[in-house]
Amino acid sequence: MTTYPDRKTLTHLERLESEAIHIMREVVAEATNPVMMYSVGKDSAVMLHLARKAFYPSPPPFPLLHVDTTWKFKEMYKLRDKMAVDSGMDLLVYQNPEAAERGINPFDHGALHTDMWKTEGLKQALDKYGFDAAFGGARRDEEKSRAKERIFSFRTASHGWDPKNQRPELWNLYNARKNKGESIRVFPISNWTELDIWQYIHLNNVPIVPLYFADVRPTVMRDGMMLMVDDERFPLQPGEEPVMRSIRFRTLGCYPLTGAVESTAKTLPEVIQETLLTTTSERQGRAIDKDAGGAGMEVKKQQGYF
Amino acid sequence: MTDTTTDPIYVTEALIAEDIDAYLDQHQHKTMLRFITCGSVDDGKSTLIGRLLYDSKMIFEDQLAALESDSKKVGTQGQEIDFALLVDGLAAEREQGITIDVAYRFFNTEKRKFIVADCPGHEQYTRNMVTGASTADLAVILIDARKGVLVQTRRHSYLCHLIGIRNIVLAVNKMDLVDYDQSVFDSIVKDYTDFARSIGINTFTALPISGFKGDNITTRSANTPWYSGPTLIDHLETVEVLSALDAEKPFRMPVQWVNRPNLDFRGFSGLIATGSVKPGDDIRVLPSGKTSKVTRVVTLDGDLDQAVAGQSVTLCLADEVDCSRGDVISLADNPPQAADQFEATVVWLNDEAMVPGRAYWLKLATQTVSATVQSPKYVVNVNTMEHLAAKTLELNAIGVAELATDKSVVFEAYTDGRTLGGFVLVDKITNATVAAGMLNFSLRRAQNVHWQALDISREAHAASKNQRPRVLWFTGLSGSGKSTIANLVEKKLHALGKHTFLLDGDNVRHGLNKDLGFTEADRIENIRRVGEVARLMTDAGLIVLTAFISPFRAERDMVRSLMADGEFVEVFVDTPLEVAESRDVKGLYKKARSGQLKNFTGIDSPYEAPEDPDFRVNTTTESPEDAAERIVNAMLAG
């Protein structure tokens, strides 16, 4: 981002970037064993870029943690491994062994898939490595319960979140002191919106997974969602035939749970254009928010979901 | 859908569709304004914010569909859209129909990005309002046109002013319900003007609006032809943001982290609080006072010619000066001061009231020190602005008090800068953020009392006595046997030629502490004084034995923190209450039980047992003689 010598007022993106960097440095200064959650999505891409800025010329002084479900898109795995090399950071990949053993998958197990691979997997990974602070790329504009979450969000020893008992956060002073067994989830891009993320990626040439751009890909329709047949594990029902469509993804997760949109947007400005003119919210393509009625995410977070 | 639905007008859809690059360029150069909305429970805050989001097209079709169905199910507006449902997030809130915590919302216009802190109005959540206000450039104070200026209006205005918000918008809402009557608006504005002046708010902008109907939010309303001022959005788009003012002040950057990837690079990372910096600038590192020159302003995107308030940067200096986290880099010829005693305005945020004299962690910018707060000089009744006497600060209380820190703090008065003037207090045991505060000024006496350097060191005192100084701190209930065992230990040490002194609770209260009673605050001061005396005695090389109930963990920890490592030895005389009470050597339990004696430990005042004492003596299974022998042997071995 360029700065103009005699300018006194920062742009909104400069303020957001600066705030995120400040938060990351506070955590590194005060936590004993921090880690950055890395899901390979566009928010993760921005987080990683911010981390590189925050500590430059040092590499970010913490590892990346990917809580893997084994069901991400192939292109996500590819970018993940490349970014770890480019950033000079350690990449830790954790897969819940119990979920692997029981063959938990999104086709047969529904909500249990998210619970076992992601929620349980995350808890296990944090416990295994003893991380006391984990950076996450959640934003307050994503979902109602996120809007009320603090930037430093405390979790009990069993990783639960208590929305009624959050610490007041004043100015840019963050109290990072923990009780025994507690850990902190830290959300440096809390105040960013989806548009800010896109614009930042655009301005800073942040590498993202090509799936965010339109291309002709094999798809099937399931329960009103357009799914991409990313590998041979996708169980086609009798008579079901993948259809080649020009699609892209607004958000990335496990490929059998992530709905695509039909699109021709091949460049970032075109993607942003489409995003701004669209009429459905970003998480709408995700099955997770609809579980457990209107309070889906709030309940999941109390159980320890990121 | 209602007939008042306005077309989304902030987002220039045509521009997005026709020339996305031009739109992105416009968006890239937007500035950001953070504001808070405050009002009473039914003033329509959530409705107003829902309206702002709706009008700025921050609501998508799927959310709108959910909103429409929710409006019919749980809405309070009949068949019409209840905008409040968009922002009342947590499940508990939706059931109660109120907002219980600060929520942050986002929307854009052509000129700015906005972050709104939605702050609840009811009394028990003052702390949330202070939280939301602390990062705000502006406050929108909502008034229900039918109700006028309420006690809550006064409270919110006072809090916003206290936190330093200088841009106040008085939004007289629900004008539709008073037939857009100008006289109603004028009389509310007059009432508010009188009140605002009395608390130091000299300027504010008043607007007649309806969040529900959309009057004067984005477009001038035909219903208020008598009003010629700006719409709410016009005003929000043009008001000056705080960071622009910060850039005009002298340069200050609290150091967060020292960046040292290899031997050739050493940079100091931080967020510039005020002013600007460029290579060649003369700077001073506080509190050491060492000076140097800035050589580089480093970022990943290349070195900068200049950086201003609000930017996160890494500075390289010309000299190898000592500088680490907590230090402040400032303009060389206009540095901030350092002090360790202050007058501060403190807002108490925790259910557990402040304990005067107790040590809390104080975090200010990147500095963390131990601090004690005195009983407040006064607390402010936020409804009447009266100053009232008080011994402590309860949840949501705002008071002015003196505080002392164990190390010098680099600071500025809060009115000169939020970063070096605002602080939080953290409970040392629970780690909760218990208070927020603003430094008013340093106390002169702190600057004039210096430590006297002594020629005969404490090591020399100890060496001449051929012993290691210690404090044997006996704690336990009244009648537990503390004094008995402490006496035996002292006799044994004395017989071995050790230099000892026993500080007994009752004896100290006859002299040094005869001005103190038995309230929680006085008990803490009692222990603090005894701790200081014990420390002076260890400086003299003595082995000190103390026998005090010392019921609070925090105070024992405070005394421990005064001593050199390993010199504080905690002896917990762990006699159960029934046993101690049955002994009742001094007849005190009897008095306490009959109500003649207040605040008696174990009866109507708590005893917080040590979690990990150095010695634990159970007098029901071990004789005082055996316990004393055990302690002396362990001491001599160590």
* B550 given a catalytic annotation: yes
Q: Is the pLDDT of residue B419 over 60?
A: yes
Of A59-68, A102-111, B109-118, B448-457, which one has max mean pLDDT? A59-68
Considering only A110-124, A273-287, B449-463, B595-609, which range has the smallest mean pLDDT? A273-287
B134 to chain A: nearest residue by CA?
A171
**Separation between Cα atoms, residue B466 and residue B549, nearest integer Å:** 31
- CATH 3.40.50.300 given to domain B8-244: yes
Task: Say if CB B201 and CB B168 are below 8 A apart.
Answer: yes
How far is C-alpha A203 from the geometric centre of its chain's CA atoms?
20
Of A210-224, B31-45, B57-71, which one has max mean pLDDT? A210-224
pLDDT of residue B458: 82
Q: Across the beta sheet with B167-173, what order do the strands follow?
A: B103-108, B112-118, B31-38, B138-144, B167-173, B205-208
B301 to chain A: nearest residue by CA?
A1
Fold of B458-637: Rossmann fold (3.40.50)
Residue numbers of A between 79 and 108 with CB closer than 8 Å to B: none
State the average pLDDT for chain B. Answer: 86
The pTM of this model reads: 0.78
Test B104 with A147 for CB contact under 8 angstroms: yes
Note the CATH number of domain B247-331.
2.40.30.10
Task: Say if CB B294 and CB B323 are below 8 A apart.
Answer: no
**Separation between Cα atoms, residue A156 and residue B469, nearest integer Å:** 41
Question: pLDDT of chain A along its 306 residues, tens only?
Answer: 444 444 567 899 999 999 999 999 999 999 999 999 999 999 999 999 999 999 999 999 999 999 999 999 999 999 999 999 999 999 999 999 999 999 888 888 888 888 889 889 998 998 899 999 999 999 988 776 677 788 999 887 777 777 777 788 999 999 999 888 888 999 999 999 888 999 999 999 999 999 999 999 999 998 888 999 998 888 888 888 999 999 999 889 889 889 999 999 999 999 988 887 775 555 455 544 444 344 455 555 555 556
Q: Is the pLDDT of residue B348 over 50?
A: yes
pLDDT band at B163 (very low <50, low <70, confident <90, very high): very high
pLDDT of residue A90: 95
Q: Which residues of A touch B424 (CB under 8 A)?
A: 168, 170, 173, 175
Q: Across the beta sheet with B312-317, what order do the strands follow?
A: B252-254, B328-331, B282-286, B290-298, B312-317, B265-271, B257-262
Q: State the DSSP H helix or E strand holding residue B435, giving kind and residue range, or none if neither.
A: strand B433-442
Q: Indicate the pairing of strand B367-373 with strand B398-411.
A: antiparallel
pLDDT of residue B365: 96
**Separation between Cα atoms, residue B172 and residue A182, nearest integer Å:** 45
Residue numbers of A between 239 and 278 with CB closer than 8 Å to B: 269-270, 272-273, 276-278
Q: State the DSSP H helix or E strand holding residue B511, giving kind and residue range, or none if neither.
A: none
Amino acid making up residue A101: E
Asked if B337-448 and B458-637 have one fold, the answer is: no
pLDDT of residue B381: 87
Active-site residue identified among B370, B550, B561, B594: B550
pLDDT of residue B638: 63
ipTM of the complex: 0.88
CA atoms within 13 A on the CB side of B438: 20
Partner residues linked to B582 by β-bridges: none
A29 to chain B: nearest residue by CA?
B257
pLDDT of residue B62: 61
pLDDT, tens digit, 9 for 90 and up, residues B238-249: 998 877 788 889
Q: For the residues B269-289, what does the mean pLDDT come to?
A: 95
Test A168 with B418 for CB contact under 8 angstroms: no
Q: For the residues B417-422, what does the mean pLDDT come to?
A: 94
pLDDT of residue A185: 93
pLDDT, tens digit, 9 for 90 and up, residues B528-560: 899 999 999 999 999 999 998 888 888 898 888
**Separation between Cα atoms, residue B436 and residue A134, nearest integer Å:** 26
Q: Which residues of A touch B363 (CB under 8 A)?
A: 173, 175
pLDDT band at B13 (very low <50, low <70, confident <90, very high): low
For residues B483, B488, B493, B499, the Cα torsion angle rounded to the nearest 10 degrees is 40
pLDDT band at B29 (very low <50, low <70, confident <90, very high): confident
**Separation between Cα atoms, residue A33 and residue B29, nearest integer Å:** 37
Test A148 with B102 for CB contact under 8 angstroms: yes
> How is chain B split into domains, by residue range?
8-244, 247-331, 337-448, 458-637
CATH architecture of B337-448: Beta Barrel (2.40)
Partner residues linked to B103 by β-bridges: B118
Nearest to B134 among A141, A163, A170 (CB): A170
